[in-house]
Structure 1
Amino acid sequence: MAGLDENGDEGRPVGRRSRALKTAGLTLAALLTLCAGAAGWVYWQLSDNITSVDINSALGDDRPPRAPTTPSPGAAASAAPLPSGSLNFLVLGSDSRDGTENSRLGGGEGGSARSDTAMVVHLDAGRTAATVVSIPRDTLVTRPSCPLADGGESPEAYGAMFNSAYTVGGPVCAVKTVESLTGVRMDHYVEIDFAGFARLVDALGGVTVTTEEDIDDDLSHLRLAAGTHHLDGEQALGLARTRHGVGDGSDLGRIELQHTLVKALLARISDVGLTTDPARLYEVADAVTGSLTTDTGLDSLGELIDLGRSLRDLSADRVRTVTMPVVPAPADPNRVVADEPEASELWASLR
């Protein structure tokens, strides 16, 4: 029988209680250590997923000037201030055949890759509104001389297909060509391949879009009746690639579908509540980082998180989608060229 303590209360055996507290403490410490280790491993894994290219070093200083970046005035005094200046990204979707899944989904032939989709994403100062400008891949441009990985330079080319820049010199040449075409500094570069895009949509639980006409495209393997549909990753990729089954079969019709998809993805990301669903957040982050190539300014999870935090007040209805104004090329009606002065006026608004 337990004895009475000095206050007359019946006490517990001191040795047993001490051992119990010690065991509980050790268990808690072990759990905290495991949680910290798991969090560190997840952070390392997601960061390690990302492939990066040092575009700034490759291109040097002969580029359009950067827009000023200022701290967010609403940032808490105790926290690191979030940047709020305007930013411009070159976002490419590539049709790489790397990996079995990319090949199955229709990547480029012969082991090469092309910039299948190209968008300049402009974040306004304050990061509460954005403009997405698509550049048709059939646009004829002056492709500047670009530094190559072997130390050489590609020759300048006149009347070249816009998407040939990526094939010739990868992300570096793609960025240099866009900056030459637009006069706008690309602060960051983001590229995702077919498999990564499909995985992202699946990780989000699919995406809902409404099409205005029937789609029947043997090349993208997509068949949809006009109306509202909830698409899985492979179907969403098919929609992003469809061109022969809509409109006049040109790249301009496909871009309109891509803009519909961009808005639907932004709405879906807002709806799924990633911040309250850690399992889905990890799945989405793993899907994105596993197929992502960025410039060195965005090649860690921490940098991507900071960018995401700076966009916390950006909603889908504040994102404007447009296509660079173009007209048929005089020498080839199957190609287009920038429609001036409208195209230059659009790019000037993003500087």
Structure 2
Amino acid sequence: MTGHEERGGRAGRRPGVLKALGLALAGALVLGAAAAGWAYWHLDHNIRGVDIDGALGADRPVPAATPAAGAAASTAPLPSGALNILVLGSDSRSGAANKALGGGDSSGARSDTAMVVHVDAGRTGATVVSIPRDTLVTRPSCPLSSGGATPVAYGAMFNSAYAVGGPVCAVKTAESVTGIRMDHYLEIDFSGFAELVDALGGVDVTTSQDIDDDRSHLHLRAGTHHLDGTRALALARTRHGIGDGSDLGRIGLQQKLVKALLERMAATDLLTDPAALYRVADAVTASLTTDTGLDSLAELARLGQSLRGLTAGRVRTVTMPVVTAPSDPNRVVAREPQAAALWASLR
């Protein structure tokens, strides 16, 4: 992927359902001695890491919480400070599975979904803020792994940052827009999201209006539906069959899916079903790209354990306040001072 710097020569991958990640280590431990060793190795090597901290250096917002120093991660108390995570869903993965689901090639990478997840101090509550991909922003200069940097771009679409500079530029642009340090980065691709939903046995989502979108091949009557991975992905991507066809209507559906996934995981006792647990862990890690602070099974397990008190009912979903861009009726810009107030409340 253009602009990626990857851990240990691994090629990049991605998602975003935080609590499921914490189950991966437990899954390996219950599979038996030899099988556990292979499962741990396999799941750990599924994860792809990007050295965002190394690429961006010190010219960034102050972190929400400073990690404890001294004790090893395995013995140190679980972190409990506030945390900010940039979560992207992308259509950039090449390969048969993603192409069948509408994904693009790696050279045409785009961030199809962008959410800033702010976990409160104590880690029992969270706010998920969606940033419309069509928001016009000032895209900062971003370093490239091939050398040099991208130029500053004024009035650029938010999702163009990923296209020109991968995760590093996506994080730098998000920090520039919000004034918030992104402590971590998580990214998932089309097929990974669909496989995760299928591994969980599908999700239940209630829609308040009929959806008829030939582009995403989704046709649903208003009401509650049990969706498999392919249809859940179609729901996350649809926008032409709802409301005014803008990205804002689609964001509402994506936020419903986030809640539905959290509720499904809470209702599924994966720890009593090692095979199901492994399928979920494999689906998550196989489609995951993270920063190098989360690019191992142990680190993801530790994050998941620190979030064990976070339930779907304690997750608030909002959208960054926006208005139609004066320069283009098909684009939006941040509504001020409301947007600035929202970001300030999460620092």
Q: Which TM-score bucket, shorter chain as reference?
A: 0.7 to 0.9
Task: Give unmatched runs, 5+ long, in structure 2.
Answer: 1-28, 69-73
State TM-score, norm by structure 1.
Answer: 0.87
| Number of the residue aligned with 1:56 | 53
Output aligned runs, 1:322-333, within 5 Å.
Answer: 322-333=318-329
What are the residue-to-residue correspondences of 1:152-167 with 2, within 5 Å? 152-167=148-163
* In the alignment, structure 1 residue 199 sits paired with structure 2 residue 233: no
Q: Per the alignment, do residues 109 and 301 of structure 1 end up closer, same or farther by CA in structure 2, a change over 3 Å counting?
A: closer
**Please, which of 175, 194, 202 is the counterpart of residue 171 of structure 2?**
175
Aligned to 2:303: 307
Task: Report if aligned partners of 2:212, 2:220 keep a CA contact under 8 Å in 1.
Answer: yes
- Tell me the equivalent position of 1:348: 344
Give, in whole Å, the separation in 1 of the partners of 2:93 and 2:316.
32
What is aligned with 1:317? 313
SS in 2 for 1:322: strand
Aligned to 1:45: 42
Counterpart selection for 2:280 from 256, 279, 284: 284
Write out per-residue CA displacement over residues 161-212 of structure 1, whole angstroms, 9 at most, x where no aligned residue: 1000000000000000000000000000000000000000000000000001
1:97 positional shift: 4.0
Partner of 2:232: 236
Aligned: 1:248 with 2:236: no
What does 1:95-110 correspond to in 2, within 5 Å?
A: 95-108=91-104
How far residue 277 of structure 1 moved from its aligned partner, in angstroms, is: 1.7
- Give the CA deviation at 1:333: 1.0
Q: 2:221 aligns with which of 220, 225, 233?
A: 225
1:131 aligns with 2:127: yes
Q: Alignment partner of 1:297: what SS?
A: coil
> Deviations along 1:211-269, whole A, 9 cap, x unmatched?
01110111111111111100000000000000000000000000000011111110001
Q: Write the distance in 2 (CA, Å) between the matches of 1:325 and 1:278.
A: 43
Identical aligned residues as a percent: 75
Give the length in aligned residue pairs: 313
Counterparts of 1:248 and 1:292 in 2: how far apart (Å)? 32
What is the CA–CA distance in structure 2 between the aligned matches of 1:69 and 1:92, rounded to whole Å?
A: 24
TM-score normalised to structure 2 length: 0.88
SS at match of 1:305: helix
Deviations 1:43-85 (A, max 9, x none): 11101001110000000000000122577xxxxxx96411000
| Structure showing greater Rg | 1
Q: Distance in 2 between matches of 1:96 and 1:327?
A: 28
Q: Counterparts of 2:314 and 2:106 in 1: how far apart (Å)?
A: 40
Aligned pair in 2 of structure 1 residues 128, 98: CA closer, same or farther (>3 Å)?
same
Matched, 1:88 2:121: no
Whole-angstrom distance in 2 between the partners of 1:69 and 1:145: 26
Residue identity opposite 2:204 in structure 1: T
1:120-174 Cα distance to aligned partner (Å, 9 max, x none): 0000000000000000000000000000121110000000010000000000000
User: Whose RCO is larger (CA < 8 A, sep 6+)?
Assistant: 2
State the Cα distance separating 1:36 from its structure 2 match: 2.2
* Structure 1 stretches of 4+ moved >3 Å: none
1:75-96 per-position Cα deviation (integer Å, ceiling 9, x unaligned): xxx9641100000000000002
CA distance in 2, matches of 1:280, 1:113: 31
Q: Residues 70 and 84 of structure 1 are in contact (CA less than 8 Å); yes or no, is this contact kept in structure 2?
A: no
Structure 1 gap segments, 5+ residues each: 1-31, 72-77
